[in-house]
Amino acid sequence: MVDASPITAVLGPTNTGKTHRAIERMLSHDSGMIGLPLRLLAREVYDRVTTRVGEARVALVTGEEKRVPRRPDYWVCTVEAMPVDLEVDFLAIDEIQLAAHDQRGHVFTERLLLSRGRRETWFLGADTMRPLVSELVPTASIVQHPRLSRLASAGAGKLSRLPPRSAVVAFSTPQVYEIAERLRAQRGGAAVVLGALSPRTRNAQVALFQSGEVDYLVATDAIGMGLNLDVRHVAFAALRKFDGRAVRDLDPAELAQIAGRAGRHLADGTFGTVAPLSLPDGVAAAIEAHRFPPVRRLLWRSSELDMSSIDALLASLRARPRARSLRLVDDAEDTAALARLAEDPEVRARARGEEAVRLLWEVCRIPDFRKLLFESHIALLAEIYGQLSGPNAALDAGWMAARVAEIDEVSGDIDTLITRIASIRTWTYISNHARWVRDAAAWQERTRAIEDRLSDALHERLVQRFVERGGGAARRLRAASGAPPMQRRAEAEPPEVAEGHPFARIAALRARLAPGPAAPAPEDDRARWVEELVGAPHERFSVDVGGRLFDGERLLGQLARGPTLLLPDVRLAALEDLDLGAGARSRVLRRLVAFARDLVEELLAPLRSPEVRALPGAARGIVYQLEQGLGTAAARDAEEQVAELAPEGRALLAAHGIEVGERVLYVQPLLRRGALARRLALCAAWFDRGRVPACPAPGAVSMAVARGVDPRAYAAIGYPVFGTRALRADVAERVHRALASGEPAERLSGWMGCPAREAPRVAASLLGEERGPAAV
């Protein structure tokens, strides 16, 4: 690809603000896309972007989740799920050093070599990529920023003496569980983050940590890829991991990626190990100085695939790279699946012709989320391909329903629920291929609902097993009593046998520790409500003319003055009955801010359609003036643009409901009742209390100007002030035309909706003969 637009490689250690800078840069363009390494991180960035511009302008695309509004400007995706044929002004790929990853690296390398934005492209990642970026993308400008906070080694320390706000990192699920159980016994509990957790479970676990409900987090290297957590210290409980092929030592750069989660923004962080483990000589110093050997080779696979036959496809997948710095990926999961299915005579018989081979390749790319037996995954792919290549060209609904129903069961232990979540992810991925299933939207809703139920159950099991109930403050009070946590908890249990029996306490403790689902605690209900609210569609929320935000009958918050009239902030209601922690309140607030942005986007949709954006310069200037006034502007404030407006431009504006009058510019659809209520809500947030007009009566063409109300607020709701009346914009223009043609003002009082005695003064203001306080 010819690199016609500027390319920037932002390379450096963690906590240098790379992703933040890329998001800001993307939002400075009219359109953009960012590819991220994890669906958890994609969801976090999606939440951040929608808080800025609303959900109506942002698409979220991962393998298992697609939220694509009608006309998105910005796309937040996992790297594998990026719609690469879509042209956008700005494109960014995060964690580009993953191009060296054995399984996923070829996808990142392909993006590095081929993916470009129309106007600008950014690659974000570790400084170890500098030599290869310079070699493979010679036109790239390499930029580096210093880490925002200091990262220092704290050496080895006992688990029982870890400072609060620590993350303990292990690389196997059994070790994560063992450490979390020890922290529960010694320190009251821990949140758990595994790569296999769903976003819903992960968010609920992180909320426990962020809110201070627990002071410790036990995680795998899933926390190493840019997830923002309030971690002050990272302690490694292991330095070796199974990478899918063998158990190996982590290299210093990988350890630094994880250790860099300690410290956030300007807050310093520390890292170390859990005694008796210690870091090899020189590794701590390398992490502190952010100096590591450069990446030497990237994984690669040809993007020019031959779909004429199975054998031709396999041959193209095995084509060798020409650059010495690229290495062919030799064990990709999808290629292995294709090779295995190619041995099946029935599959070979069906896969004849380019269309059939292309379908087979799409089926082979269904991820093996379960990671159980490869043979089991191949059998599922063969069944799916058999149905899709059959006469119905779609999956049998009954067969699919039976497979999904087997998964829809919330009983069982943690590992069972994690396995079920992995299984339902497969069906969510499949249902997001609309050509494969009939009524795809219904299937997507069904599989998401199952994943939500499983996620809630998993969060409950994790809390039940690894967290002492009662929250951080309650734990600290109990700790002051001096009794060990397990003893205090046993003493708090009511006896299950006759009171006074010598084994009463032992029986109570045994019941407490018995396996099986526990009744959800109030905090579980709160977590479920927060998750549902955060994931709810725009239609769940409502706003009244006073700017109050509701979820049904529940008051959630209030629109508040933001940086501009079009960017209101939100002030949360008390929500005392829910007793939300800081993390949960932050997520609810973020969702409401996104709703506020959607409110503005929905209101101004007539001004933001692609057709309107494509209008010539003078017309765009008029549109800008109208946006700033919520759909109304004074003609005198746009005199220059109106003078330059060609007749065809005026006609194009009129075709979109935009009227260019002699006294007022206005948008006809924004004078309707529903739009009026939204305009009032935004005005209630922006203008000082008491300076906002009352809501006009239905059908009212004018209002008497109230003392103390800001005239600009009348204009912002579509009722600019003329003399003693605030006239609806279209009525003002109609009356002005009649007055200009010689019609007496007194005969137009009915049109103005005012007493005859007021008509002359209103008419004088409309004709520009009276200069009063009532500018639009």
- CA 118 to each of CA 31, 34, 180, 365, 651: distance values in angstroms, whole numbers, following the listed order: 10, 14, 48, 29, 31
pLDDT mean over 689-699: 88
> Sign of the C-alpha dihedral, residues 444, 411, 217, 290?
negative
Task: Give residue 522's pLDDT.
Answer: 58
Task: Read off the pLDDT of residues 454-464 as tens digits, 9 standing for 90 and up.
Answer: 999 999 999 99
What percent of the chain stands above pLDDT 70? Answer: 91
DSSP string, 336-396: HHHHHHTT-HHHHHH--SHHHHHHHHHHHTS--TT-S-HHHHHHHHHHHHHHHTSTT-S--
Please name every residue paired with 235 in a beta bridge, in sequence order, or none if there are none.
168, 272
Residues 6+ positions from 500 with CB-CB distance below 8 Å: none
- CA 440 to each of CA 450, 532, 588, 663: distance values in angstroms, whole numbers, following the listed order: 15, 22, 29, 51
- Can you tell me whether residue 562 is helix, strand or coil? strand
What percent of the chain stands above pLDDT 90? Answer: 61
pLDDT mean over 475-484: 40
- CA 231 to each of CA 169, 393, 763, 766: distance values in angstroms, whole numbers, following the listed order: 12, 50, 66, 62
Number of residues in the chain: 776
Question: Contact 82/61 with Cβ under 8 angstroms?
Answer: yes
Does position 665 have pLDDT exceeding 60, yes or no? Answer: yes
638: tokens are 């746009």
Task: Give residue 651's pLDDT.
Answer: 87
Task: Read off the pLDDT of residues 278-307 as tens digits, 9 standing for 90 and up.
Answer: 999 999 999 999 899 999 999 999 999 999
Q: The whole model's pTM is what?
A: 0.78
HSE-up (13 A, CA, CB side) for residue 73: 19
Please name every residue paired with 122 in a beta bridge, in sequence order, or none if there are none.
8, 92
Task: Give residue 227's pLDDT.
Answer: 65
Amino acid at 631: G
Confidence of residue 769 (pLDDT cuts 50, 70, 90): low
Other beta carbons less than 10 A from residue 50's beta carbon: 24
